[in-house]
A and B are shown apart, each in its own frame.
Chain A
Amino acid sequence: MITNFKQEDIITLAIETSCDETSASILKNGREVLSNIINSQIEQHKKFGGVVPEVASRRHIENINDVIEEALTVADVSFADLTHVGVTHGPGLVGALLVGLSAAKAIAFAREIPLNGVNHIEGHIYANFIEHKQLGPPFISLVVSGGHTHLVYMEDYGKYEVLGRTRDDAAGEAFDKIARALGLGYPGGPQIDRIAKEGNPDAIVFPKAYLEEGSYDFSFSGLKSAVLNYLNTQKMKGLDISTADVAAGFQKAIVDILIEKTIKCALEKGANRVVLAGGVAANSSLREQLRTECEKNNIDLKYPPLHLCTDNAAMIGCLAYYNYIRGLRSSLDLNAISNLKMGDNY
């Protein structure tokens, strides 16, 4: 059999189905992405105003084999070339996770190669390793997306300390809810980012929850209620609502608190590097202002390109590669875990 690779090359097939993207990727030696196919279900969920778990699972099972096939074709890789299989097994929607996990286990078993089940949130951080070839730990990472808001100290590959997490809504979730209240549609993040550019962020000041002194946790439910209350009050008084100003004020409140806590955390930990990750890392205001604040404090900032911010299998493959070379293996009874915590799978 003719193969395109050196014998020592590690070829990863990675699968990601934790939410509403069916994705498969082929990577060479962890950081070189040969293909990264993402089948997004955004259109299917739009009419419901958010991701419906059963609808997502149904789409995953219809798409998974085609997405895997395409990933192999684009990478010009055959099943026989694969070294191991990486897959997200949590956190996420259980029914959705199970489709990708079942397929990954089956492929690993059929081809008699190892399986590496990995944590999705951790995967978001690894999107940075794909883009920035020299980047490595230690650093502080801010992971923000529709499902998670985490402030993490990554000391080494596979070695994390979770310093803060959201106590209620994830940042992205708050974006979606406020976008819906403003009639901006789904998904909310990009819509608010876009319209906030036309608004004055200081026109309406919404409260920020700092929580108790020294805490790196987040809370966005108070902010969300404050925005909804404002909208209600204006409506009841028959006053005009400037959608752009509300979006700008709301976004500023979220971005400010994310940045303040991240910088404070980096300074206290003595970390001279911050790594941004997750779907909300695509937010232009967050990127720009975090860059400014990092420069002020002599902190190096890295973030992934837009196409690696959203859920994708390449980041899962990169993480699975590092777990593989560290000698980690998952067994065939690996389960999907909706609330999998970072560090739980070791």
Chain B
Amino acid sequence: MKLLAIDTSSLTATVALLDGDRLIGEYTLNHKMNHSQKLMPMIEELLNSCNTKPGEIDVFAVSLGPGSFTGLRIGIATMAAMAQALDKNVVGVPTLEALAYNLFNIKGLICPIIDAQKDLVYTALYQWTDGNMVEIMEQQVIKIDKLISMLKEKSEKIFFIGDALERFSSNLEDGLGQQFAVPPFKFLIPSASSVAGVARIKLEKGIKTDIIPIYMRKSEAEVQYEKRMKGSE
């Protein structure tokens, strides 16, 4: 079974090809937010290099978010349409889960944080128990200070990953002291092979997800509209 996985939820563009449980290729760029120009050529290059025709792919896996709204839509539109054109299955993977999967079977807590602008992050909390990744705090959008005060109540070491680390690492270190931990750089960014890993678990367990972006936020126009409606009540 060949599986093509991608993640375009952030600055990182990453594509991976699996054959069964073997990773046969992975390209990752962490340079510029230009997924609309880079994603398809990356997929084409990966498949060419691995002597694989698009028609040979059995399953498509895509990171659903949260993250950049536009980035998510580029990735999802691409994978959903490829699967549709080839009459194949597409599996959706929450981005926070895929990020946490980067730290397979690590001891301690895993806290992926994705930039949600201003002083906000998209986050969740995971822990590996008996080879299973368990969600111990559900995904949410939260102020960084509030997250820190919630995490202070835990006793374990907490590994942080994700693009919001760049902005908030000093806040986290100040707030959490010895609890704060950061893995080496290659684990900090989204990786399509992790998306593939989570997708395989979902396939095995028969978990189906709608292939639509996980925004976790209303559009600004929607927020303003609701404010106006409340004001006029």
Contacts and interface: CB of A to CB of B under 8 A. Distances in A.
* Interface residue tally on A, bucketed by range: 35 or more
A65 B80 contact: yes
Given A100-B77, A110-B81, A335-B36, 4 more contacts: A55-B222, A58-B69, A62-B212, A107-B81
A336 B82 contact: no
Contact of A110 (B70, B86, B213): B86
A98 B70 contact: yes
A102 interface: yes
Contact of A106 (B34, B73, B82): B82
B78 interface: yes
B81 A336 contact: no
Nearest 10 interchain pairs by C-beta? A102-B77, A332-B40, A103-B81, A106-B81, A54-B219, A52-B221, A110-B85, A106-B82, A107-B85, A106-B78
A88 B77 CA distance: 15
A184 B77 CA distance: 36
What is the interface of chain B mostly: helix, strand, loop, or mixed?
helix
B84 to A, nearest CB: 5
Contacts of A101: 36
B79 interface: yes
A33 interface: no
Which of A47, A55, A104, A105 has its CB near the most chain B CB atoms (within 10 A)?
Answer: A105
Given A52-B219, A57-B69, A112-B54, A102 B81 contact: yes
A69 B77 contact: no
Interface of B: 34, 36-41, 43-44, 53-55, 69-70, 73-74, 76-82, 84-87, 212-213, 215, 219-222, 225
A64 B36 CA distance: 17
Given A54-B221, A110-B54, A335-B37, A61 B85 contact: no
Contact of B85 (A62, A95, A106): A106
A26 to B, nearest CB: 14
A249 to B, nearest CB: 32
A95 B70 contact: yes
A62 B72 CA distance: 12
A68 B82 contact: no
Contact of B82 (A54, A69, A107): A107
B127 to A, nearest CB: 32
Which of A55, A58, A106, A107 has its CB near the most chain B CB atoms (within 10 A)?
Answer: A106
Contacts of A60: 73
A336 B77 contact: no
A102 B39 CA distance: 9
B73 A98 contact: yes
A99 interface: yes
Given A61-B213, A62-B212, A106 B55 contact: no
8 contacts: A47-B225, A55-B219, A55-B222, A57-B69, A102-B73, A110-B54, A332-B40, A332-B44
Nearest to A96: B73
B70 A109 contact: no
Contacts of A57: 69-70, 73
Contact of B73 (A68, A95, A332, A334): A95
B81 A55 contact: no
A61 B77 contact: yes
A213 interface: no
Contact of B78 (A48, A54, A105): A105
Contacts of A95: 69-70, 73
A276 B16 CA distance: 49
